[in-house]
Every structure is written in C-alpha cells, then in structure tokens.
Amino acid sequence: MRDKILICIIIALINILIRWCVSLNDYSGAGKPPMFGDYEAQRHWSEITYNLPVKEWYKNSSQNDLMYWGLDYPPLTAYHSWVCGFFAHHINPEWVALNTSHGFESKGHKLFMRYSVILADVLVYFPAVYLFFNQLQSLKTSDKVKGMFMMLLYPGLILIDHGHFQYNCISLGLTLLAVVCLTGGRDLIGSILFCLALNYKQMELYHAFPFFSYLLGSCFASAKENGFLKLVKIGLVVIATFVACWYPYLSDIESAMQVLHRVFPIARGLYEDKVANIWCSLSVVIKIRQLLTVNQIVIMCLVTTFVAVLPSTINLLLKPSIDRFKLALINSSLAFFLFSFHVHEKSILIPALAVCLFIPERPMSSLWFLVISTFSMLPLLIKDGLLIAFVALMLIYVILYMSEFPMSATSSESWCLKLCRLVFYLSLTGALALTIAMVAVEPPPHLPDLFPVLISAFSCGHFVLFFLYYNYLQLSIGSIKPSVKEMEKEKVQYIPKESFKTGPQDISHLVRKKRI
C-alpha cells in the first residue's frame, strides 16, 4: 500500500517535471503582434472578466472589443479567468490592466500563467486519472499504475496545455471525474460534473451523447428502482447546474442568447487551419466551401455527425453498460471530430481522453491512436516553436509505453494480429517520415501547404479507421467470441512475478556468491 502511494507520488512528480520542462518553451503567439495567440486570449479574458461587470463579458462594447479575442467559451471558463485575473491583479496590476495590457508579455507573467496551468492540472486532472484507474477492479495493481503513468504522460495534452497554452486539463479532468462517478454508480454527481465540464468548454459536447444515452438508458434498464424518478432527479440536477453556471445571464433572454451566440460561432467557417477531419481532407478533392452556402454546410455537418453518432448511441441506449459507455465516448467524440462544424485540430484531445481509458486493456490500439493524434497536431506545434518538445515527448512516450506494455510478437497469435502489428509499425514509420519531411524538406512553390495537408489526410485516414474499429468493438460487445477477447489480452505480456524479500543477509549472500 505504502509502495503504491509512493509510486503514485513519484509518477506525479515525474509528470510535473516533464510538464514544467515543456512549459519553458514558447507559447502560442509568443512575440507575434498584433493578434498573438491562445496565451494572449487567456490573459485577455482575465483582463476582461476582472475589470468589467459580469453582464459585459460577452458583449461587444467600447471596453470589450469582441474582435480581439472576445470570450467564446461558456461561463465557467469566464469565472476561472476571473480568478486568474484576481491573482494576477494582486501580483502585478499591469498584467490585467484594462485595454492597456493587450499583448502584455513578460517573464514574470509567463511564469504566473504556466503555474496556473500546472496548478489546474494537478488539482483536477491528476486526481481524476488516479481515481479512474484506482477504481478499475478488473486490473492488477501494476497495470493500474502503468495505465495511470501513461495516461498522465500523453504528449498531446501536455504539449497543448503546457506548451501551446490552454486549460484543457480542467474540462477533460471534470469529464473524467464524471466517468469515475458513473462507473461507481453515482449518477447524480456524475451528471453535475459533466455539466460543469460542458460549461467549461462547449467542446465537451463531443462526449454528451454517450452521457445522455447511458443515463437515459440506465433509468429504464434497472428494474429495481423507479426509472422515471431517477430521470426526473437527473434532469433537475442538470438544470440546476446549468442555472447555477449561467445565473448572471438568465435575467433576460437577450444576454443568454448573446452568450450562446459567442459560444457557438456559426460564422467562423467549416474548419480552422488544417485539421485532420473529413471536411478538410475532402477539400483536397472537392471545394465544399465554394459549392454550398454556410447554412447548407452547417446542416450537412449536423446531419452527418448525427448519423455517425447514431449507431453507438442507440446501442448504448438499448443496452447501457459501463464498457459500452466508455467505447461510446470514443465513438461519439470521434464522430464529432470527423464530421462536425468548425473543428480545431486541438479537439482531437477529446477523443484521446476516452482512448486513454483503454491503455491497460488495449495497449497497442491505444498507443497507436495517441501517437497519431499527437502527430496530427504537428503543424500547429511547429508554429508554436514546440518541435523539440514534440520530438522529445514522443520518443519518451513511445519508449516508455513499449517498455511498460511490451508488444513483442508471440508464436500463438493469429495472422490477423500479426498483420495489425505490421500495419502499426508501418503507420508509425509513415508518421516519422512525414515529420522529417515537414521539418526538413522544402515544399514545391506551387504547393506551400503540401505537408500539413498530407499530415491531416494521413491522420484523418487513421481516425476514420479508428472510428470504424471502436464502433465495431462497441457493437460487438457481448456477441464477441471469447477467443477474440483473449487475443486482445494476449497483446500484453507480463514478466512473471516473483515474491521479493531481501534483507541485509540476503544481500551479503548475493555479494559473496558474485565475488567467488
């Protein structure tokens, strides 16, 4: 027990260390006026929220130019920004001075911002990861610990939060806590936590369908308790949480609509930069944006996303179980990532969170997904000056992962698994080759975006296949043959354990033996 706590502490410390080393790098938009990047956005939100009354936060005014990084996340982010602004103001008022602090950059301020992310990470995400793996009953302690380590070390999240600069760890951590609660049967607390996540970042909607259908399904599946009563309870709790978060904006319809309009910006375009989803990859062949109007595109996105989410949602609704729920989290968020409107490349972190939950059970496919998802953000990371951090973290991650979950071939495995392994290594090689090309090869002058487009198409292909794979896994739960299950488990091989007792005598004995 003591050992386990100690190992968890050491794992946490290693993760803090690595996060801090990444945070010594530049953030997005460092020294790039006039717009800077996400770092400036977060600072600007602190400035706005700390200096203006709550009602003004989402409104365009002479004090609050929404064209300059206007607040476009739900109220919880705004409150968090206020807290950051409060401390920033008390440390150095210049950091959040209204209007005069635009584009403020200094070493001290960078330290402050980096500490604020680390703090959020350690307070929300770390405990969530610990609790999740701790309550998995089917796993050995060593697997739990390894899973915990590998989930915390996922390079994508570290690079985006501590390099690029965002607070994804909070919304993802809250979602993960909600998953923990649902797994433990505490549906009401889980609902509250997920609503909080949703109110921190609207992107958590990617996960909303599984939560919705799992909770709804479980209301009607259990014969013991009154399903309708439970539904009412959950509904009330959800409404209450939303009301609490949105309280300042609920006095009139107009301000609530203004927040909604800010949070769901239809006018922003189909996708941002080069993102590895269907629409961006299709744009190489078909110029959708020229064929259809914005409204038509939005409807097209809505319909395709809905169709893509449907199988896993209906399956979960009819047969609610935690295993299906966790797979549905991947399926739903991947469907949103691939098909929905205005997707950021960073949004891949949302499906990645759900994939991380399967690290100990399905080591190879999880690693595959996690590597490709981080790789899909490469152009963004290069833009932020995080190339060295990216390469270092990827190497550390893959090497550690492979040594924690050895993937060496066994003679008894089927040809199918052998093929999978071969494709896995091929795909990693492809990613490596594209990384080198992106960094070292000059693209032809008439195709300046050649490598970013190739990277997004390459990653998109992977994500589509992963989408099909995880859908297959979810839909075949229960009907799956036991042999296939075992096959999956065979991927992980354990070194046989030996009991270990060594006192001083044993040591001297060993020494003596060696010396002779």
Count, residues near other proteins per rule CB under 8 A: 40
Choose, by CB under 8 A, the member of 34, 62, 285, 500 that binds other proteins: 500
Comparing C-alpha atoms, which of 375, 470, 488 is closest to residue 428?
Answer: 375
> Rule CB under 8 A: is residue 224 a binding residue for other proteins?
no
Distances (CA, A) of 164 to 78, 123, 364, 379: 19, 20, 27, 12
> Rule CB under 8 A: is residue 7 a binding residue for other proteins?
yes
Q: Which is nearer to other proteins, 13 or 35 (CB)?
A: 13
CA distance 159 to 345: 13
Q: Which is nearer to other proteins, 286 or 507 (CB)?
A: 507
Q: Which is nearer to other proteins, 118 or 177 (CB)?
A: 118
Binders of other proteins among 316-355, rule CB under 8 A? none
Q: Which is nearer to other proteins, 99 or 141 (CB)?
A: 141
Neighbours of 102 (CB within 10 A): 18
CA distance 365 to 354: 13
Binding mask 480-499 for other proteins (x = CB under 8 A): --------------xx-xxx
> Rule CB under 8 A: is residue 138 a binding residue for other proteins?
no
End-to-end CA distance of the chain: 38
Under DSSP, is residue 271 helix (H, G, I), strand (E, B) or coil?
Answer: strand
Choose, by CB under 8 A, the member of 24, 257, 314, 426 that binds other proteins: 24
> Rule CB under 8 A: is residue 122 a binding residue for other proteins?
no
Q: Which stretch binds other proteins (CB under 8 A): 137-145, 274-282, 292-300, 362-370?
A: 137-145
Instruction: Kindly give the interhelix angle for 187-200 and 208-221, rounded to the nearest 10 degrees.
Output: 160
Least CB distance to other proteins at residue 418 (A): 26
> Rule CB under 8 A: is residue 515 a binding residue for other proteins?
yes
Q: Which stretch binds other proteins (CB under 8 A): 350-358, 440-448, 482-490, 507-515?
A: 507-515
Binding mask 85-114 for other proteins (x = CB under 8 A): ----------------------xx--x--x
**C-beta pairs of 96-104 under 8 Å, 24+ apart in sequence:** 96/43, 96/46, 96/47, 96/50, 96/51, 97/47, 97/51, 98/47, 98/48, 98/51, 98/52, 98/63, 99/63, 101/43, 101/47, 102/40, 102/44, 102/68, 103/33, 103/34, 103/36, 103/40, 104/43
Q: Which is nearer to other proteins, 18 or 78 (CB)?
A: 18
> Rule CB under 8 A: is residue 239 a binding residue for other proteins?
no
Q: Which stretch binds other proteins (CB under 8 A): 17-25, 244-252, 257-265, 329-337?
A: 17-25
> Rule CB under 8 A: is residue 119 a binding residue for other proteins?
no
Q: Which is nearer to other proteins, 162 or 201 (CB)?
A: 162
> Rule CB under 8 A: is residue 399 a binding residue for other proteins?
no
CA distance 360 to 366: 9
Both tokens assigned to 484: 């296939």
Instruction: Kindly give the interhelix angle for 168-183 and 322-339, rounded to the nearest 10 degrees.
Output: 150
Q: Which is nearer to other proteins, 14 or 428 (CB)?
A: 14
Least CB distance to other proteins at residue 364 (A): 19
CA distance 371 to 159: 13
Both tokens assigned to 459: 């990653």
> Rule CB under 8 A: is residue 406 a binding residue for other proteins?
no
Q: What contacts 46, CB < 8 A, 6 or more positions away?
A: 81, 82, 84, 85, 88, 95, 96
Instruction: Kindly give the interhelix angle for 322-339 and 208-221, rounded to the nearest 10 degrees.
Output: 150
> Rule CB under 8 A: is residue 123 a binding residue for other proteins?
no
> Rule CB under 8 A: is residue 21 a binding residue for other proteins?
yes
Distances (CA, A) of 279 to 81, 202, 266, 269, 472: 33, 21, 16, 11, 23
Binding positions for other proteins, rule: CB under 8 A: 2-4, 6-7, 9-10, 13-14, 16-17, 20-21, 24, 107-108, 111, 114, 118, 140-142, 494-495, 497-500, 502-504, 507-508, 510-516
